[in-house]
Amino acid sequence: MRYINKKLTIENISVENIAKKYGTPTYCYSYDRLKENINNFKKNFKSFSPLICFAIKSNTNTNLIRVIKKFGLGADVVSMGELMMAVKAGINPKKIVFSGVGKTFEEINYAINKNILLINAESESEIKQIEKIAKSKNKRVQIGIRLNPNTDAKTLSQISTGKKENKFGVNNKTFIKLVNFCKRSKNIYLKCLSVHIGSQILDFKPYEKMLKEISKILEKVDHKFEFIDLGGGMGISYDTGQKKLNYNKYSKAIKKFLKNYKSKIIFEPGRSIIGNTGTLICKITYIKKNGKKDFIILDAAMNDLMRPALYGAVHKILPSIKSGKISKRPYEFVGPICESTDKFTTLNNFQELKEKDFIVMCDVGAYGMSLSSNYNLRPKPVELLIKGSKIKIIKKRQKLKDFI
């Protein structure tokens, strides 16, 4: 995204033109940015060519998953729906891993029928359930066990998953017990040790600590893991000047780890692949002066973009046309929903805005549309894929008649 003659443009198309043609609120994704992210990700870890499984939960749009598949990525799924979507988008089941603490009988059954690469189990009960289903089908199923490495990811507590108080994975003691159980099983192949310590991680040190914890446990168990699945979590910069994850250091730490353990590395990135490819175009419905600040009331709300209300996340906001005139009053950007948390951010010294102007919320490609809902019976936005001067509708705007 950049300003050309003061007009904000995505690839070669101005935000104004998109908004006028497709209405608002509208999710737009940049094809070029997606391609660049995937290539960069591959480049960062090319010395050990990992299997990169895109975390479908971050964005479930079939067309985007198809593009991601085209660049050779697999998928990390956490439900039957996501698994079906990954398969529908053409991802080879041998590149699909299934994570999650509560996989049901139906989900495990479906995953086994699809012969996916790995079911990453998270408890003793789940492993027993997998074994039972595999036995009934006379099959031997490839699984991973998710270790909870008790590592602080130094990210928001709500998206931290690797500490012992979190529901994810199993502790060292249980891990060792389960490895021994799997080794005795005729219906299970224990192929993988998996971890995922959290999301939006910007400091490389938690990853280093996580690798140390994995090494410790590998020394204790007498088992060769074909795969080590390190999960996702690589953070992106949501604000200019925000700290960036040092991929070089992370990659070096993994290479060092691989000197002792010759396994194939799997990653499950979501945000780092799709996060900065997406923007949400919104229109200002009203501006309400209130004491010392102005409420900028948008036509997008927390149902369209949940992250600010859910985690206090802040997305950068840009005007669709740069005027250079700065407002003297603080702006509070809010949606029309009947909740006080339906608020995006408050900004000082923002460009002067007026009703009917368009603004853009940046970096909403991950956990934007996938977390959206129909709260207040609001239809979900249209999704567009921009490639150069071409626009493709990759998901139609919902209509009220779809649910009334």
Binding positions for ligand LLP, rule: CB under 6 A: 55, 58, 76, 99, 159, 196, 199-200, 231-234, 268-272, 307, 311, 366-367, 371
Least CB distance to ligand LLP at residue 245 (A):
11
**338 is an active site residue:** yes
| Shorter beta-carbon distance to ligand LLP: residue 18 or 300 | 300
| Shorter beta-carbon distance to ligand LLP: residue 15 or 108 | 108
Angle among Cα 166, 74, 243 to the nearest 5 degrees reads 55
| Coil, strand or helix at 29 | strand
Distance, in Å, from the CA atom of 208 to the CA atom of 205, rounded to the nearest integer, reads: 5
Least CB distance to ligand LLP at residue 4 (A):
30
| Shorter beta-carbon distance to ligand LLP: residue 284 or 371 | 371
Q: Which of these, 302, 288, 321, lies nearest to 15 by C-alpha position?
A: 321
Helix (H) or strand (E) holding 88: helix 80-88
80-107: buried (b, 16+ CB within 10 Å) or exposed (e) per residue? bebbebbbebebebebbbbbbeebeeeb
| Shorter beta-carbon distance to ligand LLP: residue 307 or 343 | 307
Least CB distance to ligand LLP at residue 163 (A):
14
Distance, in Å, from the CA atom of 61 to the CA atom of 317, rounded to the nearest integer, reads: 24
Distance, in Å, from the CA atom of 76 to the CA atom of 54, rounded to the nearest integer, reads: 6
Spatial contact of 379 and 397, defined as CB atoms under 8 Å apart: yes
Q: How far apart are the first and last CA of the chain?
A: 37
| Shorter beta-carbon distance to ligand LLP: residue 229 or 299 | 229
Least CB distance to ligand LLP at residue 240 (A):
19
Spatial contact of 320 and 15, defined as CB atoms under 8 Å apart: yes
155-174: buried (b, 16+ CB within 10 Å) or exposed (e) per residue? beeebbbbbeebebbbebee
| Shorter beta-carbon distance to ligand LLP: residue 271 or 395 | 271
Least CB distance to ligand LLP at residue 288 (A):
28
Least CB distance to ligand LLP at residue 399 (A):
27
Distances (CA, A) of 129 to 99, 136, 142, 198, 329: 15, 11, 14, 26, 60
41: how many CB neighbours lie within 10 A of its CB?
A: 21
Least CB distance to ligand LLP at residue 76 (A):
5
Among the options 28, 53, 338, 362, which is catalytic? 338
| Shorter beta-carbon distance to ligand LLP: residue 231 or 381 | 231
Distances (CA, A) of 295 to 238, 348, 395: 23, 12, 31
Strand ranges for 299-366 from DSSP E: 317-319, 331-334, 343-347, 358-361
Least CB distance to ligand LLP at residue 128 (A):
21
| Coil, strand or helix at 311 | helix
Structure tokens at 102: 């509560």
The torsion angles phi and psi of 47, rounded to 5 degrees, stand at -65, -20
| Shorter beta-carbon distance to ligand LLP: residue 190 or 366 | 366
Q: Which amino acids are annotated catalytic?
A: 338
